[in-house]
């Protein structure tokens, strides 16, 4: 038994050394992607998005709106346009990302209670800058509405200045962004996107290493070298991958939390010990796919599809509460969702470990999931029927 175990490990290491592609995908590319994303979002947030303005009124109200808009960090007015068509052409050329249009007779209609419409056009082909300019446009128009209403009410003489403010805003609200008061985009996005990319590389490497044995007809040699034990065969093949990916993950964690200063409000060991669980969980997920469909093309396609969709379905870019139930359910079948929730609880919020226990358990479940199905992969290795 020890001989078969050693032979299985030796065979796995030889294949790992012979294919330089493994080292590229397991170490170079994940770390390079992490550095790229961290450098890209190093400023923290998107500011000064170039926008335009179409002022058809040229009144005191429209000029006040423009001055207030210039004072906001989210947008930067780079040009004035005489009409809607010229502004739309500038958006299509990429000169600006959007524009605000103030109609003719804006001041007259506003002061006479006719409800004029101020329009803003945003190019959502570029989601982050579009979100910033939309926020800026909406804030300024809401403030302009309040300013006009305040001026009108004071002019009637029915209310004092304090009475007007009480009428316009009867309840004062204070917003405090917990654990990220700077609203740093890197803190939110990189805690999810970088592990998501690492998970994708882990799943693809696992399916590739097992699938090539089936595709090129070497699966009989692979299982024979392990004494016809699928457990020994998988351990010999995946154990070196686990070690390398875990070291890569620790390197990425070091870059995120020590070099680039992402929050780490928990005991560092909570995240350090979560990384090998994360690697094993993704390997277990990929192995489950290969057991269900023991075919190189099908297994790789499933892992690629679910790995890419996890960026959307796991709540990275859209809150899970806003999703359809069936969409949210898809996000729950991949391990990266639970590592993401674990990172939010531990690294960002610094909660006691007790409140994250279910996420650790979920990762362990993914590790154990393929074991009842290993007989299907073993049967395919002993009697391979390759489907191209």
Q: Which of 168, 195, 219 is the last residue of a domain?
A: 168
Give me the helix-helix angle, 230-254 and 268-292, nearest 10°.
140
Residue 164 placed within a domain: yes
Residue predicted with more confidence, 256 or 175: 256
Confidence band, pLDDT 50/70/90 cuts, at residue 364: very high
Same domain? 226 vs 111: no
How high is the pLDDT of residue 367?
Answer: 95
Residue 178 placed within a domain: no
Confidence band, pLDDT 50/70/90 cuts, at residue 157: low
DSSP one-letter string for 82-143: SSHHHHHHHHHHTS-SEEEEE-TTHHHHHHTT-----EEEE-TTSHHHHHHHHHHHHHHHHH
Same domain? 11 vs 92: no
**pLDDT of 287 strictly over 70:** yes
In whole angstroms, give the CA distance from residue 16 to residue 7: 14
**pLDDT of 166 strictly over 60:** no
User: What element of type H or E holds 192?
Assistant: helix 185-215
How high is the pLDDT of residue 271?
Answer: 93
How high is the pLDDT of residue 9?
Answer: 78
**pLDDT of 163 strictly over 70:** no
Same domain? 224 vs 265: yes
CA dihedral 347, 350, 354, 355 (to 10 degrees): -80
Residue 157 placed within a domain: yes
Same domain? 18 vs 79: no
Mean pLDDT computed over every residue of the chain: 82
Per-residue pLDDT reduced to its tens digit, 19-37 = 888 888 999 999 999 999 8
In whole angstroms, give the CA distance from residue 139 to residue 144: 9
Q: How large a percentage of the chain has pLDDT more than 70?
A: 84
Same domain? 66 vs 145: yes
Long-range contacts of 38-44 (CB under 8 A, 24+ apart): 38/186, 38/190, 38/194, 38/255, 38/256, 38/259, 38/260, 41/185, 41/186, 41/189, 41/190, 42/186, 42/260, 44/182, 44/183, 44/184, 44/185, 44/186
Range of the domain at 199: 2-42+184-382
Same domain? 156 vs 30: no
What is this structure's pTM?
0.75
How high is the pLDDT of residue 152?
Answer: 60
**pLDDT of 164 strictly over 60:** no
**pLDDT of 336 strictly over 80:** yes
Backbone angles phi, psi at 379, to 5 degrees: -60, -40
How high is the pLDDT of residue 200?
Answer: 93
Same domain? 37 vs 54: no
The number of folded domains in the chain is 2
Per-residue pLDDT reduced to its tens digit, 258-286 = 998 888 989 999 999 999 999 999 999 99
Q: Which of 137, 168, 199 is the last residue of a domain?
A: 168
For residues 139-146, average pLDDT: 71
Same domain? 323 vs 375: yes
For residues 95-117, average pLDDT: 80
Same domain? 132 vs 210: no
Per-residue pLDDT reduced to its tens digit, 223-263 = 888 788 888 888 888 999 999 999 999 999 999 999 988 88
In whole angstroms, give the CA distance from residue 169 to residue 148: 14
Residue 260 placed within a domain: yes
Same domain? 231 vs 324: yes
Nearest to 296 by CA among 379, 215, 219: 215
Residue 374 placed within a domain: yes
Residue 388 placed within a domain: no
Residue 22 placed within a domain: yes
**Looking at residue 103, which CATH number applies to its domain?**
3.40.1710.10
**pLDDT of 41 strictly over 60:** yes
Same domain? 359 vs 375: yes
Confidence band, pLDDT 50/70/90 cuts, at residue 309: confident
Same domain? 301 vs 265: yes
Residue 177 placed within a domain: no
Q: Which of 134, 168, 202 is the last residue of a domain?
A: 168
């Amino acid at each position: 038994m020890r001989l078969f175990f050693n032979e299985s490990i030796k065979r796995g290491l030889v294949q790992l050394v012979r294919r330089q592609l493994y080292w590229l995908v397991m170490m170079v590319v994940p770390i390079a992607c992490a550095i790229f994303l961290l450098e890209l979002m190093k400023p923290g947030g998107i500011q000064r998005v170039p926008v335009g303005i179409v002022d058809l009124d040229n009144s005191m109200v429209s000029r006040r709106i423009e001055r207030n808009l210039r004072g906001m960090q989210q947008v930067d007015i780079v040009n004035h346009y005489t009409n809607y068509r010229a502004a739309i052409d500038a958006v299509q050329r990429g000169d600006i990302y959007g524009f605000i249009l103030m109609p003719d007779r804006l001041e007259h209609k506003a002061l006479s209670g006719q409800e004029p419409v101020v329009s803003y056009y945003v190019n959502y082909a570029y989601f982050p800058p579009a979100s910033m300019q939309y926020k800026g446009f909406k804030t300024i128009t809401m403030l302009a509405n309040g300013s006009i209403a305040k001026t009108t009410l004071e002019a009637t003489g029915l209310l004092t200045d304090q009475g007007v403010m009480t009428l316009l805003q009867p309840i004062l609200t204070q917003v405090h962004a917990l654990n990220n008061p700077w609203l740093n985009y890197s803190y939110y996005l990189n805690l999810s996107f970088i592990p998501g990319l690492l998970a994708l590389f882990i799943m693809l490497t696992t399916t590739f290493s097992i699938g090539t044995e089936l595709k090129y007809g070497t699966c009989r040699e692979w299982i024979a070298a392990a004494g016809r034990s699928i457990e020994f065969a998988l351990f010999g093949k995946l154990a070196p991958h686990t070690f390398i990916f875990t070291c890569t993950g620790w390197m990425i964690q070091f870059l995120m939390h020590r070099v680039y200063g992402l929050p780490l409000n928990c005991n560092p060991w909570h995240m350090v010990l979560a990384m090998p669980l994360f690697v094993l969980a993704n390997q277990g997920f990929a192995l489950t796919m290969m057991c269900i469909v023991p075919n190189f093309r099908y297994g790789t396609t499933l892992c690629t599809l679910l790995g890419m969709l996890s960026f959307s379905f796991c709540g990275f870019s859209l809150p899970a509460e806003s999703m359809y139930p069936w969409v949210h359910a898809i996000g729950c079948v991949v391990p990266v969702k639970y590592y993401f929730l674990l990172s939010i609880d531990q690294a960002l919020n610094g909660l006691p470990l007790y409140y994250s226990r279910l996420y650790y358990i979920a990762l362990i479940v993914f590790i154990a999931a393929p074991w009842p199905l290993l007989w299907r992969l073993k049967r395919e290795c002993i009697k391979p029927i390759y489907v191209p």
